[in-house]
A and B are shown apart, each in its own frame.
Chain A
């Protein structure tokens, strides 16, 4: 299933002109994040039996590259209103497409962007799967944990 999710996410990135040269998968025992900017989306299924967190971990290099693809010709700062809006929307669209194909019963909670240069971020205490999308400039990490 993670392979399929990664494929769907890759398709969304590519459709937004973000070049993805490769995808790597990994697993960790806790959903910890080590990026300065993270978009957090909560997942719940309609019956409330399963729940999880989807995290989009942006490095400054990837955020800059993604914004140059999303808004070509504009020099947008990732923490500006429009920059954050674009990155949030990228996360939102990727999440939506992943859920539609894999778990139509799931609903999301509103995405939240959290920025902190030296912050510790624990998105969930459940084990997490990481999908690492390699691009010309750094990587985007999309991580998923389900309880």
Chain B
């Protein structure tokens, strides 16, 4: 080993030694989302030992099912036939919205009828947590679809304990269906994280406004200064402005009836005074750049769109729910 290698080894070890054993935090393992019995995992046969208790277990399940069906069926397990037309329309709209807008890495809690509707809209079955009664905890999910049945089951605790903020709301009155974000660490912690995130978005917004490669049209400058865009949009804006000067045409969110402070997840932009000859090429360049971003900056949808007065632009959308704390930490806040 050369003297230089000795120096490098000693320096790296000295630096590493600054991390003391006391600095190792306890391990926090996630809840395993799917657990199959060994017979399914390895494809092996169920042994005689397992079969011994399988028969009484099956009998117990059958008895429990009969008791449940005869004594009291929670409204949540009632099928679509029990729904009014207004409820059905709201559920259909909510299912469409969730399937299109919610991140495919997020687990969604729903009652059996809504889960069925989500499956029909192509939402992966593995990412659905079916709530069969109020005893089921939605805390293992990131989003809950609060249908009238779910609201009846959970009552006030839905907003005060589990899911304080609305991402989108469909229908009205008792028929309304809300898509709510779950506060995994408690409502107070969620509200505080949302406040801190908004503060950081405002600071970043002010910095973006001073970026001379970005022009904000109409009310978008006020929206940015208010910290309304999702932090992923802010990153994308700055990243694209480093490539080409851009103009922000609109900031929006497709979540109707969202709670105050829920970030806007979509934007439309165009190139600032581009040479018409190169406009399409430059937009393609930005589009390719967005499509190669790593998670969490990879947008759920990017498309070249037609704007008024014959101009073309780029529409960018990110999935819900918005990650909080992305601007303030080296790594984004963990979401379930």
Tell me, yes or no, whether A binds B.
Answer: no
Q: Report A's interface with B, CB cutoff 8 A.
A: none
